[in-house]
């Protein structure tokens, strides 16, 4: 995209150019697409990669919010000084035409967070609500590049120039002559909302303060300090709190507060501000500012930061591509070094996860904002190869975080808190990736005991998060049940939790092996094969299993209901998209699915759409779960299809437009995948240095590894329409493997790749050419029972079924099976048998399942046990027979206390609904805490799927303390929340019972945290003992899950 030069930019052009020359020398600031070097035959490399960075790419919503920011930051900078528009979840939206301020910190993720201390220059009166004031702008008057951001604010006619160093920002504001120049400092207006804020005038040049916003995705909180100094005195000042503006005031506090400063434009129209930030103290912010920007030359700061970016980007020199391809490549590479961000002050101090001030060891850096679920796959390896010392500091930052929060590994940590976003224990493979790709000075021995603790034990930490919720059941069963414990941000996620934890355990095994702990390495390598326990041979999918071991009824992929974000059992995705998430043993998975002849057609169909979103059974390139999916073809003997799909990915989904990303960049995760693909490879197996191959998009690349070694890539025939590899040489020798040697990432080497517009369907197709899989502890076969899932079987019902087993690895021979039920009224005939897999991949036998008259209402599982001839236990299936109640009611209850007794109903902890166990008047219950006004409840979706209208009776035992009132708020038909009549407490300090009857309940998980109803306590503490629900009508499955109802 061509961008016109802003009108105001020309007025400062001479100054900026002079500063650039002074700071940088005679480096070329713009280059045309490179031609071959004269007479040498070699493709010329880009001289100045910063000329190909377009920070506006990814700032506009396309298929999803892409959430990049266009402002200025140094590599890995704490200060990310950027405009926030009037719309946009993480700050800037290219479609918006109004700026609310230039705030100090940002991240490219899926929640409204950061965006702290917006600063907005305006003219005229500040108005009655300065916090809400915005300024219109046009992209014709806006320019961004590495190190600089400039814009004209149209309403006030103010020209803005921004620069930044690691912890400090500098801003030039040029006002119209004769105007009333104001600077608004919106100290209590963070993107995620502020719990508290403070701003105070220090002197006539300076103000300082703090903000304490909600943390990542509204979880926890953090405090940021700032100090702002101006190049000349302000002539007046004041503060505001909400809609109250107080001229002359020196101090304001609270959410929505801020300060304004007035400057005289009679003799000068320019105001320059330097802004220091810190997470330690205001003094720390001032010290950071003074150390990093001692002068007042914004142009010089911009030029130096641009030089810093040039040095970073020249770690990967490329050439031989179109201008657009180079722009996408270097913009993607630029995004790869914005996060994680520096967290300590210039003196080494930082605030830890224990809320104490620590000092990082001399010569090292503390980092924060690790989008671990996203970045462990491809970003961390790239950063490590290029900056192994920084990566070592990142790994040890995570270790220090863990040590400071009681020995629990952080989960999506930002600032000094755990964000607890997404499933899995993703900081573990992130740490392992740093180690595998060459990070220096990493304390593996210090990290392993902490990782192993959470791999075997669950406990609430800090604000209530759990590193591995219900991991004890995972260890016992070999899978995470798809139950209430697996509830995530978007629904139940038992299958994806199992797959992530298997990846995490495999990563632990690799770390243990690295330090010679072979027993632990073997233990966790075995757990790395837990994917086998959720593989369903009857459907060929990796699927969630319930508490009884049953897979859901029906096919593997099931279209999610309207409004859902992914399929039940999978976090942000579905069965098709998670079906290749076994990077540690893709050979085993392929064998389980029926071999290459079965897998290739499924891959072909899967990649018929490249960015289908979380609810369709196709590739979702805009999310990280499918990062390595195109490379699965490398494992099944068709590498030319990996080359073809990745070229489609590069050319169709990444563009130079503002919506030029396929999805949320997630702190550089998607950008890093593009960089790898364009270079012709991808990190394939978390915890190992395996690099699986595709084909280069660029004709030449020279990569300077951080250990002093080098990778060279020559692909003189590379082109958008020439993705197919016809020959490959490594260090001068022919090479046919679809993965590079294990030491390539740290040793380096020279690759010569010959490409064509036509596929070579014979090259690198042998089994030996596949990237490595780690097949230790595979089971020989997997058993199953159909029908699976929940089967409605009234008394007197007979159900035909099939018992089967499929070979997974090697020879399974004869497999013995037995079937058993939990009540005498349920029988399986025959109840045992043998399946012969000596000469067949699959063997089956028919069975009959019967439910006798008089069998009590409820769930009655039929459990299967499968063993080999030597007695080795094999994964197997189950079915759950559902005997309905005669009265047509579904009933569920939850008895609350130190350990809740959940019978189809669950109390859900949530951001505004936290409880603690209590004992009052001799009876256990749970009380709201931390100012939480609500208690949230979720009914088992199996019995009450949602929709309605339902007739519901809710009976609640509550402790009658105080004289306030409370209500039941429920998810009603028509996507509304409704309140019942209030219950007025009378202060008897006894237990009482309240009963509510409604006829329009929807119960489709529409309340916060995907719940069905909540108790609203107003400003009082609410204490509940037992909650009982009876629901009828609609699609209710009439089961009595509460034992007292049978």
CATH of the domain at 908: 2.60.120.260
Report cis status (omega within 30 of 0) of the bond before 656. Answer: no
Span 207-234, pLDDT tens digits: 999 999 988 887 888 999 999 999 999 9
Residues constituting the chain: 1046
Q: Supply the mean pLDDT for the chain.
A: 93
For residues 509 and 651, membership in a common domain is answered with yes
Report cis status (omega within 30 of 0) of the bond before 964. Answer: no
Range 869-893 average pLDDT: 91
Phi, psi of 1008 (to 5 degrees): -55, 150
* CATH number of residue 119's parent domain: 2.70.98.10
SS3 state of residue 324: helix
Of 883, 905, 934, the residue that ends a domain is 883
Question: Torsion-angle region of residue 708: left (phi > 0), alpha (psi -120 to 50) or beta?
Answer: left
Lowest mean pLDDT among 143-147, 342-346, 808-812: 808-812
For residues 913 and 869, membership in a common domain is answered with no
Span 698-728, pLDDT tens digits: 999 999 999 999 999 999 999 999 999 999 9
Residue 487 is predicted with a pLDDT of: 77
- Angle CA(276)–CA(279)–CA(284) in degrees, nearest 5? 50
Residue 789 is predicted with a pLDDT of: 83
DSSP-derived secondary structure for 227-286: EEEESS--SEEEEEETTEEEET--EEESTTEEEEEEE--SS--EEEEEEEEESS-HHHHH
For residues 359 and 497, membership in a common domain is answered with yes
Range 506-525 average pLDDT: 98
CB proximity list for 5: less than 8 A, separation 6 or greater = 143
Give a yes or no: residue 915 inside a domain. Answer: yes
Q: Is the pLDDT of residue 355 over 50?
A: yes
The CB-side HSE value for 644 (13 A sphere, CA atoms) comes to 14
Separation of alpha carbons 888 and 1037, rounded Å: 8
Span 48-101, pLDDT tens digits: 999 999 999 999 987 777 789 999 999 999 999 999 998 767 789 999 999 999
Domain residues for 483? 317-769
Span 11-20, pLDDT tens digits: 344 334 334 4
For residues 170 and 280, membership in a common domain is answered with yes
Q: Is the pLDDT of residue 7 over 70?
A: no
Residue 808 is predicted with a pLDDT of: 87
Q: Is the pLDDT of residue 863 over 50?
A: yes
Give a yes or no: residue 836 inside a domain. Answer: yes
What is the token pair recorded at 838? 């000596």
CB proximity list for 964: less than 8 A, separation 6 or greater = 984, 985, 1017, 1018, 1019, 1020
Q: What pLDDT band is residue 26 in, cutting at 50, 70 and 90?
A: very low
* CATH number of residue 873's parent domain: 2.60.40.10
Going from the C-alpha of 31 to that of each of 27, 319, 397, the distances in angstroms are 11, 11, 39
CA-based nearest residue to 553, from 784, 859, 788, 798: 788
Q: Is the pLDDT of residue 311 over 60?
A: yes
Separation of alpha carbons 308 and 313, rounded Å: 9
CB proximity list for 351: less than 8 A, separation 6 or greater = 223, 279, 280, 357, 358, 415, 416
For residues 790 and 909, membership in a common domain is answered with no
Residue 377 is predicted with a pLDDT of: 96
Range 593-605 average pLDDT: 97
Residue 812 is predicted with a pLDDT of: 86
DSSP-derived secondary structure for 398-415: HHHHHHHTTS---SSEET
Report cis status (omega within 30 of 0) of the bond before 340. Answer: yes
More confident residue, 220 or 514: 514
SS3 state of residue 700: strand
DSSP summary character for residue 969: E
For residues 492 and 612, membership in a common domain is answered with yes
Residue 1034 near residue 947, CB atoms below 8 Å: yes
* CATH number of residue 740's parent domain: 1.20.1610.10
| Residue 873 CB coordination number (10 Å) | 12
Of 769, 802, 834, the residue that ends a domain is 769
Give a yes or no: residue 113 inside a domain. Answer: yes
- Angle CA(247)–CA(252)–CA(256) in degrees, nearest 5? 100
What is the token pair recorded at 125? 């009166």
Give a yes or no: residue 41 inside a domain. Answer: no
What is the token pair recorded at 882? 């559902």
Give a yes or no: residue 47 inside a domain. Answer: no
Separation of alpha carbons 967 and 980, rounded Å: 6
pTM to 2 decimal places: 0.89
Provide the CA 593 distance to its chain's centre, in angstroms: 28
| Number of domains into which the chain is organized | 4
Lowest mean pLDDT among 37-51, 389-403, 910-924, 990-1004: 37-51
Going from the C-alpha of 865 to that of each of 782, 812, 849, 876, 1043, the distances in angstroms are 11, 15, 16, 6, 28
Q: Is the pLDDT of residue 28 over 50?
A: no
Q: Is the pLDDT of residue 933 over 50?
A: yes
Question: Which value, to the nearest 10 degrees, does the dihedral of the CA atoms of residues 561, 562, 565, 571 take?
Answer: 0
Separation of alpha carbons 631 and 640, rounded Å: 10
Separation of alpha carbons 618 and 635, rounded Å: 19
Question: Which value, to the nearest 10 degrees, does the dihedral of the CA atoms of residues 446, 448, 449, 451 take?
Answer: 120
Separation of alpha carbons 413 and 420, rounded Å: 8
CB proximity list for 925: less than 8 A, separation 6 or greater = 896, 897, 917, 918, 919, 957, 959, 1023, 1024, 1025
The alpha-helical segments, DSSP class H, found in 442-572 are 444-454, 471-477, 494-514, 518-527
Give a yes or no: residue 699 inside a domain. Answer: yes
9-17 LR contacts (CB < 8 Å, sep 24+):
9/143, 9/150, 11/159, 11/174, 12/150, 12/159, 12/161, 12/299, 15/299, 16/148, 16/299, 16/302, 16/303
For residues 743 and 824, membership in a common domain is answered with no
Q: Is the pLDDT of residue 268 over 80?
A: yes
Residue 41 is predicted with a pLDDT of: 65
For residues 271 and 336, membership in a common domain is answered with no
DSSP-derived secondary structure for 987-1015: ---SEEEEEEEEEEE--SS-BGGGBSEEE
SS3 state of residue 485: helix
Span 271-292, pLDDT tens digits: 999 999 999 999 999 999 999 9
CB proximity list for 266: less than 8 A, separation 6 or greater = 178
Q: What pLDDT band is residue 36 in, cutting at 50, 70 and 90?
A: very low
For residues 148 and 256, membership in a common domain is answered with yes
SS3 state of residue 504: helix
Of 883, 916, 949, the residue that ends a domain is 883
Q: Which residue has the tokens 């990237």?
A: 771
Separation of alpha carbons 121 and 186, rounded Å: 11
For residues 746 and 857, membership in a common domain is answered with no
DSSP-derived secondary structure for 704-771: E-TTS-EEEEE-TT-BTTB-EEEEEEETTEE---SB--TTHHHH-EEEEEEEESS--SSTT-SGGGSP
Q: Is the pLDDT of residue 415 over 90?
A: yes
For residues 644 and 553, membership in a common domain is answered with yes
CA-based nearest residue to 1029, from 1021, 1020, 1041: 1041
Residue 39 is predicted with a pLDDT of: 37
Q: Is the pLDDT of residue 29 over 60?
A: no
Span 758-767, pLDDT tens digits: 999 999 999 9
Burial 645-671 (b: 16+ CB within 10 A, else e): bbbbbbbebbbbebbbbbbbbbbbbbb
| Residue 504 CB coordination number (10 Å) | 29
Span 107-163, pLDDT tens digits: 887 777 899 999 999 999 999 999 999 999 999 999 999 999 999 999 999 999 999
Q: What pLDDT band is residue 235 in, cutting at 50, 70 and 90?
A: very high
Give a yes or no: residue 641 inside a domain. Answer: yes
Q: Using H for helix, E for strand and C for coil, what is the string for 109-162? A: CCCCCCCCCCEEEEECCCCCCHHHCCEECCHHHEEEECCEEEEEECCCCEEEEE
For residues 747 and 814, membership in a common domain is answered with no
Give a yes or no: residue 38 inside a domain. Answer: no
Would the CA dihedral through 280, 284, 286, 291 be positive or negative? negative
Span 361-374, pLDDT tens digits: 999 999 999 999 89
Residue 759 is predicted with a pLDDT of: 98
DSSP-derived secondary structure for 8-73: HHHHTHHHHHHHHHHHH-S--S--PPPPBPTTT-PBPPPS-GGGG--TTTT-S-SSS------SEE
Range 616-644 average pLDDT: 97
Q: Is the pLDDT of residue 975 over 90?
A: no
Residue 293 is predicted with a pLDDT of: 98
Q: Is the pLDDT of residue 4 over 50?
A: no
Going from the C-alpha of 279 to that of each of 34, 350, 549, the distances in angstroms are 44, 7, 47
Q: What pLDDT band is residue 563 in, cutting at 50, 70 and 90?
A: confident
The alpha-helical segments, DSSP class H, found in 797-939 are none
The alpha-helical segments, DSSP class H, found in 294-387 are 298-313, 323-335, 372-375, 379-386
Q: Which residues pair with 492 in a beta bridge?
A: 487
Separation of alpha carbons 92 and 59, rounded Å: 6
Range 348-353 average pLDDT: 98
């Amino acid at each position: 995209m061509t961008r016109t030069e802003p009108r105001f930019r020309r007025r400062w052009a001479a100054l900026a150019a002079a500063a650039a020359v002074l700071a940088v020398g005679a480096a070329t600031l713009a280059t045309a697409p490179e031609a071959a070097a004269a007479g040498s035959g070699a493709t010329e490399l880009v001289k100045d990669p910063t000329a190909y960075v377009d920070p506006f790419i990814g700032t506009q919503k396309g298929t999803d919010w892409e959430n990049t920011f266009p402002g200025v930051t140094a590599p890995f900078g704490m200060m990310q000084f950027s405009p926030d528009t009037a719309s946009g979840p993480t700050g800037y939206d290219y479609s918006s035409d109004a700026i609310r301020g230039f705030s100090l910190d940002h991240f490219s993720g899926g929640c409204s967070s950061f965006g702290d201390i917006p600063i907005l220059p305006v003219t005229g009166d500040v108005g009655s609500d300065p916090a809400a004031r915005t300024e219109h702008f046009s992209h014709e008057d806006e320019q961004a590049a590495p190190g600089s951001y400039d814009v004209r604010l149209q309403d006030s006619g103010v020209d803005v120039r921004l620069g930044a160093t690691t912890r400090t920002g500098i801003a030039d504001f040029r006002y119209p002559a004769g105007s009333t120049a104001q600077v608004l400092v919106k100290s209590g207006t963070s993107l995620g909302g502020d719990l508290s804020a403070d701003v105070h005038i220090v002197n006539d040049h300076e103000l300082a303060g703090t903000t304490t916003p909600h943390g990542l995705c509204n979880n926890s909180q953090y405090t940021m300090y700032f100090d702002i100094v101006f190049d000349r005195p302000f002539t007046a000042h004041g503060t505001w709190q909400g809609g109250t503006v107080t001229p002359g005031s020196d101090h304001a506090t609270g959410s929505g507060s801020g300060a304004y400063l007035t400057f005289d434009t009679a003799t000068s129209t320019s105001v320059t501000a330097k802004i220091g930030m810190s997470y330690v103290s205001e003094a720390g912010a001032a010290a950071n500012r003074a150390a990093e920007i001692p002068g007042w030359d914004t142009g010089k700061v911009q030029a130096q930061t641009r030089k810093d970016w040039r040095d970073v980007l020249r770690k990967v020199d490329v050439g031989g591509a179109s201008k657009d391809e180079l722009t996408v490549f270097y913009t993607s590479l630029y995004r790869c070094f914005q996060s994680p961000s520096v967290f300590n002050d210039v003196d080494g101090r930082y605030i830890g996860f224990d809320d104490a001030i620590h000092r990082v060891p001399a010569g090292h850096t503390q980092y924060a904002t690790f989008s671990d679920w996203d970045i462990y796959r491809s970003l961390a390896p790239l950063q490590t190869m290029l900056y192994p010392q920084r990566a070592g500091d990142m790994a040890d930052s995570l270790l220090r975080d863990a040590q400071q929060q009681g020995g629990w590994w952080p989960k999506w940590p930002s600032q000094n808190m755990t964000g607890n976003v997404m499933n899995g224990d993703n900081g573990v493979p992130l740490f392992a990736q740093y180690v595998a790709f060459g990070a220096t000075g990493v304390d593996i021995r210090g990290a392993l005991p902490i990782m192993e603790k959470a791999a075997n034990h669950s406990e609430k930490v800090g604000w209530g998060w759990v590193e591995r919720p219900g991991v004890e059941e995972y260890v016992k069963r070999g899978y995470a049940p798809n139950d209430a414990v697996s509830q995530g941000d978007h629904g139940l996620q038992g299958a994806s939790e199992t797959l992530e934890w298997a990846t995490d355990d495999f990563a632990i095994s690799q770390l243990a092996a690295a330090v010679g702990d072979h027993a632990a390495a073997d233990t966790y390598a075995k757990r790395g094969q837990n994917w086998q326990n959720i593989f369903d041979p009857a459907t060929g999918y990796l699927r969630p299993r319930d508490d009884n071991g049953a897979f859901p009824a029906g096919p593997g992929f099931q279209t999610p209901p309207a409004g859902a974000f992914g399929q039940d059992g999978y976090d942000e995705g579905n069965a098709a998209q998670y079906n290749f998430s076994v990077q540690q043993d893709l050979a085993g998975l392929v064998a389980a699915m029926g071999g290459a002849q079965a897998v290739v057609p499924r891959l072909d169909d899967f990649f018929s759409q490249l960015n289908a979103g979380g609810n369709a059974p196709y590739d979702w390139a805009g999310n990280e779960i499918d990062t390595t999916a195109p490379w699965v073809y490398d494992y099944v003997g068709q590498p030319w299809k990996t080359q073809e799909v990745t070229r489609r990915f590069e050319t169709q989904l990444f563009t130079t437009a503002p919506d030029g990303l396929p999805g949320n960049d997630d702190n550089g995760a998607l950008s890093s995948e593009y960089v790898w693909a364009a270079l012709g490879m991808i990190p394939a197996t978390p915890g190992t240095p395996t690099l699986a191959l595709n084909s280069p998009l660029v004709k030449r690349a020279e990569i300077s590894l951080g250990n002093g070694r080098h990778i060279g890539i020559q692909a003189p025939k590379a082109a958008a329409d020439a993705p197919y590899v016809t020959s490959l040489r490594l260090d001068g020798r022919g090479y046919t493997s679809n993965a590079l040697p294990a030491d390539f990432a740290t040793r380096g080497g020279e690759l010569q790749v010959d490409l064509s517009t036509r596929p070579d369907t014979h090259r690198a197709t042998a089994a030996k050419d596949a990237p490595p899989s780690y097949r230790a502890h595979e089971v020989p076969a997997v058993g199953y029972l159909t029908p699976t899932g929940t089967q409605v079987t009234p008394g007197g019902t007979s159900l035909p079924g099939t018992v089967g087993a499929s070979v997974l690895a090697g020879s399974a021979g004869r497999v013995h099976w037995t079937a058993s039920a939990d009540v005498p009224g349920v029988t399986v005939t025959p109840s045992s048998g043998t399946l012969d897999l000596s000469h067949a991949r699959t063997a089956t036998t028919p069975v009959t399942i019967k439910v006798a008259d008089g069998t009590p209402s409820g769930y009655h599982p039929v459990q299967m046990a499968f063993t080999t001839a030597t007695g080795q236990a094999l994964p197997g299936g189950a079915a759950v027979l559902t005997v309905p109640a005669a009265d047509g009611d579904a009933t569920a209850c939850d008895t609350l206390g130190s350990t809740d007794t959940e019978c189809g109903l669950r109390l859900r902890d949530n951001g505004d609904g936290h409880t603690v166990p209590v004992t009052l008047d001799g009876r256990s219950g749970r009380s709201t805490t931390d100012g939480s006004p609500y208690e949230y409840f979720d009914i088992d979706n199996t019995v009450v799927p949602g929709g309605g209208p339902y007739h519901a009776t809710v009976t609640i035992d509550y402790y009658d303390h105080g004289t306030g009132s409370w209500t039941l708020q429920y998810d009603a038909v028509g996507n509304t929340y409704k309140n019942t009549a209030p219950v007025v407490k009378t202060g008897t300090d006894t237990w009482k019972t309240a009963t509510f009857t409604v006829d329009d309940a929807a119960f489709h998980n529409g309340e916060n945290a995907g719940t069905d109803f909540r108790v609203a306590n107003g400003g009082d503490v609410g204490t509940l003992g037992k909650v009982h629900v009876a629901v009828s009508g609609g699609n209710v499955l009439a089961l009595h899950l509460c034992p007292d109802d049978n």
